[in-house]
Structure 1
Amino acid sequence: MKAIPVLLFASTLLSFMPVAHAAEEGISVTATGTVKVMPDMAVFDVVVQSSDKDAGKATSKTAETVAVLQKSLRSAGIPAADATTAGYSVSPEWSWSSGKSTLRGYIARHVIRVSVRELRLAGAAVDAAVQSGAGEVGQIRFVPSRYENLRKDALDLAVRNARADADVIARAAGGKLGALIELNSGQSSRAPMYQMEEATLMKAAPAAPPTEITPGEQEISVTVQSRWRFATQSMK
């Protein structure tokens, strides 16, 4: 796997909160650690659904289209292990008239989640899904394969930045930084979604130009809230 370039950034929100009793004096710091990275994976869902008055026929139609889809994905370089079922349902379809419901038939819906581990294949994978007759190609999510490690890097940066800035505040206020009182981590940022154009969702003609998909740089951010004791310098 190719190395992923990473840039680290940090931002901090600071406050100094002295109170009546020295033991309760504290410094609060909110800091954010950010890792910038180029994603090396793409994930998207393909929806195949068919309807028929007979539930069995609806499921058969959907199964046939899914078989064509899987074959097309193999040809596009996507292994079977990276095109798996994310959801499946068979539900009745009703029509309403004059306040009454009538059973029209059944809808069989199969959702295939496609993971593209080589981004150069992302466009071909989307084209394969569209040309196979899939009813819908969902949003594409670009993700780095090392997301969890990068999230921890951002968390580490946020904590170190919080401590460093709390120390600066304490010294500037004429004291020194005491022990950590409280430390909380907020929710990490999520990888952004790429919205497919409506035209891409329609069945493409065989001569249509290949879909080009190029991700941009992403940011993985983690924010921490910390509170530290403030120790006043002893009088001489």
Structure 2
Amino acid sequence: MKLMMVITALLLSTCVWATPLPAQPHVYVEGSAEIEVEPDMMAFTLSIQTVDIDLAKAKADVDARSRLLIETVKKFGIKADDVATTALNIRPEYEYKENQRVLTGNNVSRQVDINLRDLKKYPEMMKALVDAKISETINTNLTLADKKAVEEKVQTAAMDDAKARAGRLAKSQGQTLGAPWSISEFNNRGNERWELTPNRQLMGSSAKEVGAMRMADSAEPFEPGVMKISAQVYVVYLLK
């Protein structure tokens, strides 16, 4: 009985996920596009952390460095909307001594995310953050301020590519391309249908982590380079 239930479930799953094709003549194509864009925003992530047996002292230190961070980034024209801080995270730390758990300190931390929209200010801002000794590590990530607009642009280009491909295939067989019967970001005829992951990517050498205390004496050479964003669409066109 259990085996029959499993088989039934698999059959139902296949029926749900499989995308049917039209009964009339059609052509099924993949359209793809890729464009290069220059990143226009640097996202900083800093973790402000202190461990102290005195919880109030640890919290005061994290609060003070948080205020210093906000004051530092304001000098570079960072708006309030481009600074996001998490609530304080407080957890006790222990170690075992003679089979007894002993409190060694209180770990107080907060994460701060900052968006720098003027990349020309990056070297100066990085140096200022390092000199202020706010955080032991600073994570940076080059990205796009309006990623959605670029995704829409490359998806439109992918649709244009799909239509051109379908038109060439139809013409080679003496057929005329009709209206699209289905359009999908998912490759419903492949394994991806089990994952349902949109087939689009933003790629580039865009992230790094620097040891904040090791670079305070030198300005950082900086070239943002380019990023590539790609998209695929899967379209079924009817034939006239």
TM-score under structure 2 normalisation? 0.75
1:182 partner SS: strand
In 2 relative to 1, CA 97–180 (structure 1 residues): closer, same or farther, beyond 3 Å?
Answer: farther
Match of 1:195 among 205, 208, 213: 208
Equivalent residues in 2 for 1:66-145, closer than 5 Å? 66-86=66-86, 88-96=88-96, 101-133=101-133, 134-138=135-139, 140-145=140-145
CA contact (8 A) 1:28 1:228 kept: yes
In 2 relative to 1, CA 215–157 (structure 1 residues): closer, same or farther, beyond 3 Å?
Answer: same
For 1:172 and 1:81, the matched residues in 2 are separated by 55
RMSD: 2.5
CA contact (8 A) 2:199 2:233 kept: no
In 2 relative to 1, CA 218–45 (structure 1 residues): closer, same or farther, beyond 3 Å?
Answer: same
Q: Does residue 210 of structure 1 match 2:219?
A: yes
1:32 partner SS: strand
In 2 relative to 1, CA 128–80 (structure 1 residues): closer, same or farther, beyond 3 Å?
Answer: farther
The residue number in structure 1 matching 2:55 is: 55
Measure how far apart 1:79 and its partner are.
4.2
In the alignment, structure 1 segments of 5+ residues that lack a partner are 1-20, 232-236
CA contact (8 A) 2:40 2:118 kept: yes
In 2 relative to 1, CA 161–98 (structure 1 residues): closer, same or farther, beyond 3 Å?
Answer: farther
Which structure has the highest helix share of the two? 2
Equivalent position amino acid for 2:123 in 1: G
Equivalent position amino acid for 2:238 in 1: R
Measure how far apart 1:54 and its partner are.
2.3
CA contact (8 A) 2:31 2:163 kept: no
For 2:236 and 2:99, the matched residues in 1 are separated by 61
In the alignment, structure 2 segments of 5+ residues that lack a partner are 1-20, 186-197
Which structure has the highest strand share of the two? 1
Q: Deviations over 1:82-105 (max 9, x none)?
A: 333145311121224576543222
Q: Does residue 148 of structure 1 match 2:157?
A: no
In 2 relative to 1, CA 22–156 (structure 1 residues): closer, same or farther, beyond 3 Å?
Answer: closer
Identity of aligned residues (%): 20
Measure how far apart 1:159 and its partner are.
0.8
1:175 partner SS: coil
CA contact (8 A) 1:26 1:230 kept: yes
Equivalent position amino acid for 1:228 in 2: Y
For 2:236 and 2:168, the matched residues in 1 are separated by 14
Equivalent residues in 2 for 1:141-180, closer than 5 Å? 141-180=141-180
Measure how far apart 1:215 and its partner are.
0.7
Equivalent position amino acid for 2:136 in 1: G
2:23 partner SS: helix
2:218 partner SS: coil
The residue number in structure 1 matching 2:17 is: none
CA contact (8 A) 2:124 2:219 kept: yes
For 2:158 and 2:94, the matched residues in 1 are separated by 53
